[in-house]
Amino acid sequence: MRQKRMVAVLLVLAMAIFAFAACTPSAPAEAPSSGGTTTETPAAPPAEEGKTFKVGFSNASTGNPWRASMMDTIYHARDTYGDMLELVITDANDDVQKQLADCEDLLQQGIDALILSPAVSDALAPVVDMCNDKGIPIIVFDRIINNPNFTAYVATDNHEVSIPVAEKIMEVWPDGATIYYLSGIAGAGPDIERTEGIMQVWDGHPEYNIVGQTDAYWNEADGMTGAEDALQAHPKGTLDMLLCSDGNTSIGALRAVDAAGRFDDVRVVAFDAWRTDSLMNIKDERILPYTTMLGTYVGAVTVNTTMQILLGATITASDKYVRIPCPVITLDNVESFYDPNVAPTDYPWRPAYEMFMADNFYNQFTNPVK
């Protein structure tokens, strides 16, 4: 058994507005110092007419459908700038040493800015100082980094991805529950924040008992294997749910539950379960019909944020955080997110992205360039 660690169709406007208000993320963790003093982060001067930009993008990985969809949104945003933007992309396959080498290589290529989606929060922190030393803006997205000296951070607060679901569990299981937690990747920012969110809600409530935890790496295969191990270790009548850190994991966990004949015994509950097949499972109540949405369009928003900075705009928020909303998806609104024309393993991201860009994006900048 793996090492255990305890610890859309267009969105309905009114619904999306309420979801945004409810899920506006808090500031990223006040990143502990990674060995350097806080410094002024570089801001690019306004662009001259006809100027082009070369931007490096160091990606942690494209190892699951969520990140593949995120890359689709990045290509979409890149293409809107045409010849104005050259985007140089590397993929570390969640290898920290490779990502460090990728960043060093990109910084030698004369880039105007670096976009970083860090594999883990601590080991990639020196990249921020590398960029500052060269006077190059660094835009971090999706995953937190433990160095506060970045130019911008673009994300949904992952605490808000898990907190509503943890609260819903208390409502559905008011007398407590035995829970096996299929988490993400140890040390990755989203995994840290989602787990912190759960613990925040259940602090002082020992009746919500996490009896085991396995890293499922946000993919179906590891989710299924982790669930199989959990079901074998906890026979019928001793386990209430498999709590999954994302929708990909929940697909694998549900397969394990079905294969074991324990659908009536163990419920599958998930955060961030909004790819098409997960939405179908919510509609059919195959998983608990209550989840959250970490928009894959964070990639596109990051490209747009980088271009705003290079064109001379500044982020209004003092914490340099470009905030992306976190809707809650239930039986009452799932049809607003579901799109039958989107493949089962893909994410219906375009309507939410278009609404965010129209209604919220430019409000987060001083002197935005439209």
Q: What is the mean pLDDT of residues 172-198?
A: 95
Which CATH superfamily groups domain 159-292?
Response regulator (3.40.50.2300)
Structure tokens at 53: 């930009």
The model carries a pTM of 0.80
Beta strand pairing call for 53-59 and 85-91: parallel
CA 58 to CA 117: how far, in whole Å? 6
Enumerate residues 6+ apart whose C-beta is below 8 A from 106: 56, 58, 88, 90, 114
Amino acid 226: pLDDT:
98
Q: Are 183 and 191 in contact (CB under 8 A)?
A: yes
CATH 3.20.20.70 fits 37-156+295-324, yes or no: no
- 230-253: pLDDT as tens digits: 999 999 999 999 999 999 999 999
Q: What is the mean pLDDT of residues 30-35?
A: 33
CA 213 to CA 260: how far, in whole Å? 19
- What are the boundaries of each domain within the chain? 37-156+295-324, 159-292
Q: What is the mean pLDDT of residues 355-359?
A: 93
Nearest to 302 by CA among 192, 190, 129, 137: 137
Domains 37-156+295-324 and 159-292 share a fold: yes
- 276-298: pLDDT as tens digits: 999 999 999 999 999 999 999 99
In 143-203, the DSSP E strands lie at: 152-155, 177-183
